[in-house]
Amino acid sequence: MSELKRILQQITALSDVPDPAVLKRLIDELRVSEKETALANEKIQSLIDILRQHPEYGDGLSSFVLKLIIQYRQISLYTDTGIMSDQGFFNSLRRLIGHRFLPLLPQDDSVVELAGYLFNKRSDERWLANVEKEKWDELVSLIRVEQKHLDLVATAKNSILNAIIILSYRISGIGLHPDLMESYPQILNYSASFVAQNQEAVLFVNQYRQAHELDSLTDITPEQAVDPAPLLVMIEQCEDIVATVRKRIYKTGISIRLTNMMLRLDQSLQRMRILTALLTESHQNRDRAVIELIQTLITTSNRRYSIGYLIDNNTKLLSRKVTENASRVGEHYISTDRAGYRQMFKKASIGGFVIAFMATLKILAYQLALAPMGRAFINSMIYGLGFVFIHVIRGTVATKQPAMTAAAIASTISESSGKKSHQLTKLSELIVDILRTQFIAIMGNVMLAIPVALIISFAWLQYTGAPMIDSEKAGHLLHDLDPFHSLALPHAAIAGVYLFLAGLIAGYYDNLAVYNHVGARIQRHRLLKAILPESWLKRLGGFVEANLGAIMGNFLFGVFLGSTATIGFIFGLPIDIRHIAFASANLAHGLFNLSADQISWNVILLSILGVALIGMVNLIVSFSLALFVALRSKEVRFFEWGRLTKLIFGHIISHPSDFFWPRDKPMKYARIDSQGHMIFDDSSAVQKGSKAIPSNYVVRRLSDVRVLPESQQASQENSQTNTDIYYDSQPQGEHIKPHTSPKKVVDLDDGLVDEELNSSPYTDDIQYDQATKTLNTANSDNPELAGNEVEPTGLDSKTTGDAKTPLPKPKKPPKLPN
């Protein structure tokens, strides 16, 4: 007899008194290394074969798991596990660091702690991910509950229904949050969706509970299934509103708090769909929902105390914020056709012309006797103000990666743009266009910086009669370009990081300007209103709001470049920066001022090679970071990077000219035009084929609804539940009836029935009699008390009079081993 079969027999025998240790033995037997994909599927197939041969094992396993789970708190599993927390990053980090020194007390009654005990290996998540989807579907389909264990199903379903209510109220709260309304004031016109989904959720929960008779701890199959379609329609309407808000972010800006809220709203709506699928009659949807919940539970239990997971989640949140907001204005480094290609060369040429003078000023500044901090200040001003000037005169600096680049990359792998393989193919084509644009930007900078720097050195010599720099300084400039005998390439990598950070800073300030309405606030400034004419003030406000990101990004990029060498000098670190545009200007100055006996073809070729490699490192580092942020925001897995790399190298082999010259037939992208500008769509959140939310949308007034306990609902059989959404002008023949009377009583309870959430406090003397399907108390053995109802008195009557009959209190869960 196999070990799997022996464990399943033991589980079936102990199904009435489940022990977590036995279930852990089963999991340990199935567990394999994360690299043994074939063996993982083989073991799951063995389990499937045994369950198919012995159906009683499937029932025993299901009842074992259900009886074990209902001893723990389940609500948090459905409402919190896998959903972004609203707790701040630093508070969470402080808590987890404290856990390293003084461990946090485990929540012994939490299902997450049980999952952490069962799946206690770090590789469990990857091991389970290796199992084929078809095998998961088949395994879950074999674990069925027999009729005699429907009381366990009823208890589990009550928890799921309660979780739907809790999530529904949270969705309403987030959807009507002031921050969300401020970013999209028109949401008030659609706020009915968030209220209506809550009312539909309460209605669905009550109808489902009543139709399946869950209050009597059974789960019958009703003649007519409760239709979740109205609830799903309202969830879809809420998702459409969130999509509309996202499309308008480029106009309104976004904060980390709002990004977190929208992410939690998305996740809560998706969880509502999953929980609803758990209750449907569709076995396929239900089984998939079970698998998704199990995977989420295992992931959360393994990472709940992980600092790395906390940082991972928050950097993902920051990545999403960067990619969701891309300004219409500022710098763009993507061209798809010849016109955009020529335009980028023109802008880069302007930048190269100015950079030649900036490099000259920086060389001359070294002749000043300055303290380290003074030198850092002078260099930072030369770089920073020079970059800002280049932007103002519509020039550009090569190898920069503005935040728009990450947003453009993310747009090609959006959730609604098709299969992942097609998305990666489209992304590889976009990367080719970006790299080609960067190539022509580099050429524009270099082809102007070198001759202009030579002219400056020549003019200096002719005007002053002496070289601008001596041979020693010229030799030092060329040595700094040597890729083999200096730190030119590591310094180029540092500059690549700064190039990427400059894009993030520009995106941050663009977002800040829009989110805080900087332009409009400048126009209301009292002093400026008194000094400037109204037309000038309006132009100033518009210019600052449109260019604040680019100005601050360029200026701070210059500060980074100008102060790095000084910081390295102060701390004794060999750090500096190398950028291809300045390296090319320094190459011209160095070769022109080098003495004749020092110059050679070896020096010339080595310096030119150094300039080329510096540009390559600048581009690779800055672009890789932008690509990482974009793919991270869309949760592209690491193994898919390999597929993307193969696509790019395949393009290099098949069409190498595409990396240097525009294609004959330009690529077209859904959200990027030929000039590299993002195409924004904020017309409507309503997708094609769906009905827009009408302006005369009316929701049931909460004041018109009176909550009745189930004990009193029997007397209201003739009252018709009015649950639909009404319109001011109802078309003839529609099945939806107009709202008739504000005095109508609706049998609508709060939807919450469970040992955790019931309004009646639990007592240990509540017992459930399976024979009579009634709830008895310890007083039931007294015939006098059993035969008479005790009338509640005072305000505390709520605990026994109007409350729904409480479910039995779960037993204390077994203590898990430390």
Residue 442 pLDDT class (50, 70, 90 cuts): very high
Is the pLDDT score of 741 beyond 60?
Answer: no
The pLDDT of 688-700, averaged and rounded, is 42
Tokens 């720097």: give the residue.
Answer: 453
Sequence-distant (6+) residues with CB within 8 A of 471 are 593, 594, 595, 598
- What is the residue-averaged pLDDT of the chain? 77
Q: Give dist(CA 498, CA 496) in Å, integer.
A: 5
At 172 the three-state DSSP class reads helix
Q: Give 322 or 686, the one with higher predicted confidence.
A: 322
Sequence-distant (6+) residues with CB within 8 A of 675 are 332, 335, 339, 340, 343
The string of pLDDT tens digits covering residues 549-560 is 889 989 999 999
User: According to the model, what pLDDT value does residue 651 have?
Assistant: 87
Q: Give dist(CA 403, CA 671) in Å, integer.
A: 15
Is the pLDDT score of 783 beyond 80?
Answer: no
Q: Which amino acid is at 538?
A: K
At 774 the three-state DSSP class reads strand
Q: Give dist(CA 530, CA 242) in Å, integer.
A: 42
384 membership: H or E segment, kind and range: helix 372-392
Q: Give dist(CA 226, CA 228) in Å, integer.
A: 6
State CA 787 to chain mean position distance. 59
At 726 the three-state DSSP class reads strand
The string of pLDDT tens digits covering residues 8-19 is 998 888 888 888
Is the pLDDT score of 739 beyond 60?
Answer: no
User: According to the model, what pLDDT value does residue 811 have?
Assistant: 59
Q: Give dist(CA 188, CA 182) in Å, integer.
A: 10
Q: How many CB atoms lie within 10 A of CB 333?
A: 24
> Interhelix angle for 534-571 vs 488-515, to 10°?
150
> Interhelix angle for 20-30 vs 37-53, to 10°?
130
The string of pLDDT tens digits covering residues 80-124 is 888 887 777 777 878 888 888 888 777 777 888 888 888 888 888
Cβ(694)–Cβ(727) below 8 Å: yes
Q: Give dist(CA 182, CA 256) in Å, integer.
A: 15
Q: Give dist(CA 176, CA 564) in Å, integer.
A: 47
Cβ(190)–Cβ(103) below 8 Å: no
Is the pLDDT score of 50 beyond 50?
Answer: yes
User: According to the model, what pLDDT value does residue 787 have?
Assistant: 41
Q: Give dist(CA 434, CA 676) in Å, integer.
A: 9
| Rg value, the chain, Cα | 34
User: According to the model, what pLDDT value does residue 164 have?
Assistant: 94
The pLDDT of 318-332, averaged and rounded, is 53
User: According to the model, what pLDDT value does residue 214 have?
Assistant: 87
Q: Is the pTM of this model over 0.85?
A: no
Sequence-distant (6+) residues with CB within 8 A of 742 are 701, 704
Q: Which residues pair with 769 in a beta bridge?
A: 774
Q: 278-282, 372-376, 565-569 — which is least confidently predicted?
A: 278-282
Domains and CATH numbers, the chain: 338-511+546-634+643-659 (1.20.1080.10), 767-799 (no CATH)
Highest mean pLDDT: which range of 212-216, 249-253, 372-376, 738-742: 372-376
Q: 145-154, 220-229, 492-501 — which is least confidently predicted?
A: 145-154
